[in-house]
Amino acid sequence: MIDRGKQLQRRNREQVPRRILAVCIVVLLTLGLLDQSFPPPAPPPFSTQVFDRDGELLGAFLSDDDKWRLRTRLDHLPPEMITAVLQKEDRWFSLHPGVNVPAVLRALYTNLIAGERVSGASTITMQVARMLEPDDRTYAIKLREMIRALQLERRYSKREILELYVSLLPMGGNIEGVASASWIYFQRPPARLSLAQCAALAVLPNDPNLLRLDRSADPLQRRTREWLRRFRDRGVFPASVVNTAMEETFTVARNAPPLRAPHYCQRVRRRSGGDLRRTTIDAAVQDAAERLLANHVQRVVVDGVSNGAVLVIRNDGMDVAAYCGSADYDDAMRHGQVDGIGAVRSPGSTLKPFLYARAFEDGSLTPLRRLADIPTDFGGYTPENFDTEFRGEVTVEEALLQSLNIPAVRELARQGAGPFVSWLARLGFRDIAERREHLGLSLILGGCGATLEELTRAFSILARDGRLSPLRFETDDLLDAGQQMLSVSAAFLITDILSKHERPDIPLELLAQSRLPEIAWKTGTSYGKRDAWAIGWNARYTIGVWMGNFNGEGAPHLSGAVMAVPLLVDLFNAIDTEGKTLGITRPREVRQREVCVRSGMLPSPQCAETVQDWYIVGTSSRAQCHLMQLFHVDAARSLHYCMECLPDSGTEEVWYPVYAAELALWFAENGVGIPRPPPHNPACTARFSGEGPSILSPSADYTYYLERGTEQEILLHAASPAGTGKHYWYVDGTLYVEAEAGERVFFRPSASSHRITCMDDAGRKQTVPLRIVYY
């Protein structure tokens, strides 16, 4: 029995460690389960802070619960601030696990002896727990704070706990955290706080309602000096430094946190992300853009232009370097809070470079190719140039530099509005993409919607070898190599043309002052003179400028050249310190060749004058000029003969320029001295196929509205190839009148529909329907 009892005792002793281990495991599992089931509260929402690319605060916003609660990073604080907080609140912070047990026991003993609460022994971690879960101060709540402190220490590092502490400290009213108080009370970033200010912000949370600096400075001044003396006596800071700090005085103040680049900050705030937003804004560029825009608007406000917007992009990474949505964000009378960069407006003529770039890319045009600039009816749409003048024939380069409307609309008609609209949609024009089914030829003159952001980003492809990339608003945004929207060669040709200074959209004062930077640019003016645009670029920057009124009112002097270009020039001169060169190099595929001056095509042996023109190897058309054509004429050069009626003798061969029928007619009507072949032999009985008369009026696309009982007439007008002598007009198959080729005649209709035919003296003809509605 004795041996058996000893065995039981020995067995029990052996099982004790196992039981203790089991109990510990159960306790730990229970605590872990409780910790997971009842976690400490998450931090409250912080105010969004927007920083420039160098980490300087651009703007801050109230948190979702209407607090100025700016998250404070320890590396944004001076060492004196951290030292003051630790020395005052928790000198053993780095050593304890969240609860300072000796301090708690000492405080408990002191409170029991005193019979009241005279010491709290709260660590910084416990204070964070209390700020996350505020409640009455009782021993039960204190115990909860201890438990929460242990939980916080398990979840966060000491650095993170200290950052939470300095970010949540109550500073009076709806102000929380050192960073918030630094800006609101002292109007400076926390990194620039003085020792006195550091001490004040360490003291203020002890009684924020009494010590808040927006009500009175004296209580906080006294409490701060008291603690400065303690710091000096403890040797926390050198005595000389403390003595100097004690001489600093505070004033009653409450300032709003900074809000620079307000439209940009608002936009960044709306994007998804955290409360600390590091952006791509360059503060120096932003300040220059804001100053120049405000000054420029002040100069032109007398001309009825009250606002403007500027967007600056760094081309290398597509960083937004400056963003000015209006001239003055706080000017409510001029709608300053409207963001002009994102507002949809008519782009005027700014889209023309992209149209010609696509023609360069498909090889159909080169810079010196000739285009018609004559009155043209596009199915009822009859655009005019800005100056209401017509030039007959111009090069692509002249058409683009002078921003002529007719050549652009004719080129869009050749390419097709649908493909061009689809391309613009891929280029990022949202309004154009949404309205693509309703857009036609007028879009190239501004009959569509675009924003300054879309235009500036689109023009950046001309500086970036044809590549389109997203704008980078924040440094965390990915660098995107982009999508190839144009060939490198086409982008270069457009840039080369628009970097020339021989153009009408340069104010004379800029030329006189030699202030033009090395840039390429395009202007635009919307219908009704409501919007003035200028987009400029070089290898380093693309800058977009819009000028106008946010209420949509036009102004007599509002144009891209007069209102927007001077500001664009000032911006480049102020921002681009490396602006001595354009910085865009010619691709190897772009070379020069000899072309006919009169057509821009490869010269034939009959082309008397040639000039050098850029072309894209393997892409640009190699079609030969066919302007000069051979005619057999009589000795007086009054008639020409075809091969059917050519006499055996008495003729000579003469080369004449043969222009398109409409262009030749315009030359004749406007007295342009172009040699024309004589009429065809009227005695010839041969009939010919091929290009004949082109009826200009009436239009098959019109329905004509005539008032009953009046003698209104319809114009009959047609153009024919060179050498045509007569036009024969038929109405419903019956000869109506014989006229000279190109002569204008009139017809009084008698029914609601007719068939109009024009036949030339070579038997070629065209017929169009005429539709009439009487009212």
pLDDT tens by residue, 568-604: 999 999 999 877 889 999 999 999 999 999 999 999 9
Length of the chain: 775
Q: Give the β-pairing of 307-314 and 319-324.
A: antiparallel
Q: Is the pLDDT of residue 31 over 60?
A: no
pLDDT at 439 over 60: yes
The predicted model scores a pTM of: 0.86
State how far the Cα of 650 lies from the Cα of 673, in Å rounded to an integer. Answer: 27
* 252: alpha, beta or left? (left if phi > 0; alpha if psi -120 to 50): beta
Q: Is the pLDDT of residue 2 over 60?
A: no
Determine the pLDDT at residue 709.
Answer: 81
Please work out, in degrees rounded to the nearest 5, the angle formed at the alpha carbon of residue 235 by the alpha carbons of 231 and 238.
Answer: 90
Can you spell out the DSSP letters for 632-649? EEETTSS-EE-TTT--SS
Give the separation between CA 231 and CA 249, rounded to whole angstroms: 18
Query: In this predicted structure, what is the pLDDT of residue 707?
Result: 85
DSSP category for residue 562: I
Task: Tell me how far CA of residue 610 lies from CA of 196, 603, 605, 629, 686, in angstroms.
Answer: 81, 7, 11, 17, 37
Q: How far is CA 711 from the centre of its chain?
A: 56
Omega prior to 769 cis, within 30 of 0? no
Q: What is the four-CA torsion angle of 154, 152, 85, 81, rounded to 10 degrees?
A: 80
Residue 699's pLDDT is: 87
- Residue 509 pLDDT exceeds 80: no
Coil, strand or helix at 479: coil
Residue-level pLDDT at 4: 65
* CA geometry: angle 282, 284, 289, nearest 5 deg: 95
Helical pair 195-203 and 239-246, crossing angle rounded to 10 deg = 70
How far CA 694 is from CA of 379, 381, 626, 704, 738, in Å, comes to 14, 17, 20, 20, 16
286: pLDDT strictly greater than 70: yes
Say which residues have a Cβ less than 8 Å from residue 172's Cβ, sequence separation at least 6.
Answer: 181, 204, 208, 209, 211, 212, 213, 214, 215
Q: How do 704-706 and 745-747 pair as beta strands?
A: unpaired
* 108 has a pLDDT exceeding 80: no
Which amino acid, 628? M
Q: Give the pLDDT confidence score for residue 304 in this predicted structure.
A: 94
What pLDDT is attached to residue 688?
A: 66
Residue 214 has pLDDT above 70, yes or no: yes
* Average pLDDT for 468-477: 95
In Å, how far are 71, 196, 475 from 248, measured between CA atoms? 27, 7, 39
Structure tokens at 291: 């100053």
**Looking at residues 727-744, what average pLDDT do you find?**
91
| pLDDT tens digits along 65-107 | 999 999 999 999 999 999 999 999 999 999 999 888 887 777 6
The CA–CA distances, whole Å, from 62 to 45, 257, 269, 390 equal 10, 10, 11, 59
- Nearest in space to 495 (alpha carbons), one of 464, 516, 472: 464
Average confidence score pLDDT of the chain: 91
